[in-house]
């Protein structure tokens, strides 16, 4: 299995660092985040090292998203979560701090304190359309 030197998530996948593992399959591993944003916050990683969303292969990405869905369902059923946020940070500018691809699976509760630093306000329709032109396949 591909690993990166000094990657803490590779070490968790290899069993060299402890983690509270809650789900695994051929391609993925899920474990509890040590600094939870809300109670039950978990991370899904591919076993194979990929730096981020730009680098990860399609099959590993698909497996991670399906694992995240399994956990989201469990959070609803077993933790009585009212909702779930899936978050992926790609690049330091986007808050990525561990450079092994991971999906945050964050259960949400009516009274939880989590605030993401983003409050949607209406955008400029022309700017939105122009950026849509830039991004269209
Ligand atoms: P990010 O900032 O999106 O790269 O997220 C990295 C996440 O990994 C943070 O939420 C950390 O709390 C979490 N984390 C870092 N080290 C560990 C570890 N050894 N076990 C579990 N979670 C970790
Ligand atoms: Zn790694």
Cα of 13 vs centre of ligand 2, distance in Å, is: 8
Q: By three-state DSSP, how is residue 13 classified?
A: helix
Residues 8-135, CATH architecture: 2-Layer Sandwich (3.30)
Bridge-based pairing of strands 42-46 and 103-108 is antiparallel
Ligand 1 pocket: which of 9, 23, 43 to mutate (most atoms within 8 A of CB)? 43
List pLDDT tens digits, range 83-110: 999 999 999 999 999 999 999 999 999 9
Instruction: Give the C-alpha distances (Å, rounded to integers) separating 38 from 35, 85, 100, 106, 121.
Output: 9, 11, 22, 7, 25
Cα separation, 115 vs 107, in Å, equals 13
Domain ranges of the chain: 8-135
Which pLDDT belongs to residue 118? 62
Task: Identify the residues whose C-beta falls under 6 Å from ligand 1.
Answer: 8, 17, 19, 31, 33-35, 43, 89, 95-98
User: How are strands ordered across the β-sheet holding 103-108?
Assistant: 21-24, 28-32, 42-46, 103-108, 83-87
CB neighbour list of residue 24: distance below 8 Å, 6 or more residues apart = 30
State pTM to two decimals.
0.91
Q: For residue 87, which atom of ligand 1 is closest to its CA?
A: 3
Q: What band does 137 get if pLDDT is binned at 50, 70 and 90?
A: confident
């Amino acid at each position: 299995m591909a690993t990166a030197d000094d990657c803490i998530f590779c070490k968790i996948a290899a069993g060299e660092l402890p983690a509270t593992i809650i789900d695994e399959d051929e391609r993925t591993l899920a474990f509890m985040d040590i600094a939870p944003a809300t109670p039950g916050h978990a991370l899904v990683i591919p076993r194979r090292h990929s730096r981020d969303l730009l680098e990860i292969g399609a099959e590993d990405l698909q497996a991670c998203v399906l694992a995240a869905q399994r956990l989201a369902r469990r959070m609803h059923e077993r933790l009585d979560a009212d909702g779930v946020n899936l978050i992926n940070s790609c690049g330091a500018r986007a808050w990525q701090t561990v450079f092994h691809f991971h999906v945050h699976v964050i259960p949400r509760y009516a009274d939880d304190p989590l605030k993401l630093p983003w409050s949607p306000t209406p955008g400029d329709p022309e700017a939105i359309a122009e950026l849509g032109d830039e991004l269209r396949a």
